[in-house]
Structure 1
Amino acid sequence: MEAILEKPSLQDQRVASASLPYFDAFHKRGLKKGGDLVELRLQEHDEAVTIPRKALELLKFILLSMAEGKAVSLIPSDSELSTQQAADMLNVSRPHLVKLLEQGAIPFKKVGSHRRVQLEHLLSYEQQQAQQQRQHLQFLVQQAQELNLGYQ
């Protein structure tokens, strides 16, 4: 797993922030009209490089995160995570994650005595939880409106 764990410097944040308007300009000029490939010109070497459009979208996300002062990590979707890495991604304690694993909420496999979680399964669980939270919140909003609790 490749990761840049340190937060970007203030200079990196400024450069990343200054580059973001160019991505919006690319889209406004019709970048979306082309195929699945994008050609970038590297000024330092005066060369062009062709990359997948999705890679350009990832680059924009990375720059946006850097502009906000956030550290960025890229993980292949078929990666296996330790319980500590998975807990960190969900922002929960490792013991709580282990409890979720043992309850069957998230599939895992054992390698020796260690549990491993597929990133796909972890992201799926996270999406399910977010959907469930939205449904519960909608239910609470509906109840508050029906009971005339002052929420419009």
Structure 2
Amino acid sequence: MIGVKNIITKEDRKNARTSLSVLRTSIKQVRKQDKRGTVKLKYNEEEIQIPEQAFVLFKSILSNIAEGLEVAVIPSHKGLSTQMAADLLRISRPHLIKLLERGDIPFFKVGTHRRIELEDLENYEEKQKEIREKQLKFLTKQAQDLNLGYE
């Protein structure tokens, strides 16, 4: 996993917004000119070709930074390590292991190492969000029924 965990400054956000504007224009031009799906970049007299898919991903990264969001790039063909999964859920690794062993999140083993599919992690996170919303609605209704001053 490649991630940006540093605090994103206002200057970073500004630079990302400016770069994003230029990239959007460049992508449109590339699609019109090059049907092979590659982007040519020139820097210090050296030219490189980048697959359009990578260029679009770079645009997405800049978009997230412009919004002040953390960014992580995860290879989709491999399962996530327990540490990667814990980082994505913003929980400790030991707590994640408990969730895995309890069966809350499916996993598979590669040798002795546990691996988690990104889709399974996203499903777990979505399920937890639904549970939190349901509990919040219950607490809100209960507070209103007891006339605790919440409206």
- Give the shorter-chain TM-score range: 0.5 to 0.7
Aligned residue for 1:59?
59
Equivalent position of 1:42 in the other structure: 26
Q: Is the 8 A contact 1:86 1:122 kept in 2?
A: yes
CA deviation vs aligned residue, 1:93-148 (integer Å, no higher than 9, x gap): 11110000000000001111110000110010000001100000010001001110
- State the aligned residue count: 129
Tell me the distance in 2 between the aligned counterparts of 1:139 and 1:77: 38
Listed as ranges, the gaps of 5+ residues in structure 1 are: 23-39
The root-mean-square deviation of aligned C-alpha atoms, in Å, is 3.3
* Matching of residue 14 in structure 1 with residue 14 in structure 2: yes
CA distance in 2, matches of 1:41, 1:12: 20
Distance 1:11 1:107 in 2: 41
- Aligned CA distance change for structure 1 residues 16 and 150 (closer, same or farther; 3 Å): same
Gap change, CA 1:79 and 1:7, over 3 Å in 2: farther
Greater shift, 7-16 or 79-88, is seen at 7-16
CA deviations on 1:9-52 (whole Å, 9 max, x unpaired) are: 664321223467x6xxxxxxxxxxxxxxxxx5439xxx822289
Q: Verify the 8 A CA contact 1:78 1:118 in the aligned structure 2.
A: no
User: CA offset at residue 3 of structure 1?
Assistant: 4.0
TM-score, structure 2 normalization? 0.68
Alpha-carbon spacing, 1:142–1:128, altered in 2? closer, same or farther (3 Å): same
5+ long unaligned stretches in structure 2: 32-36, 38-51
- Distance in 2 between residues matched to 1:126 and 1:104, nearest whole Å: 14
Paired residue type of 1:88: D
* Matched letter for residue 110 of structure 2: V
What is the letter of the counterpart of residue 48 of structure 1? Q
Q: Tell me the amino acid that sits aligned with residue 30 of structure 2.
A: V
- The normalised TM-score by structure 1 is 0.68
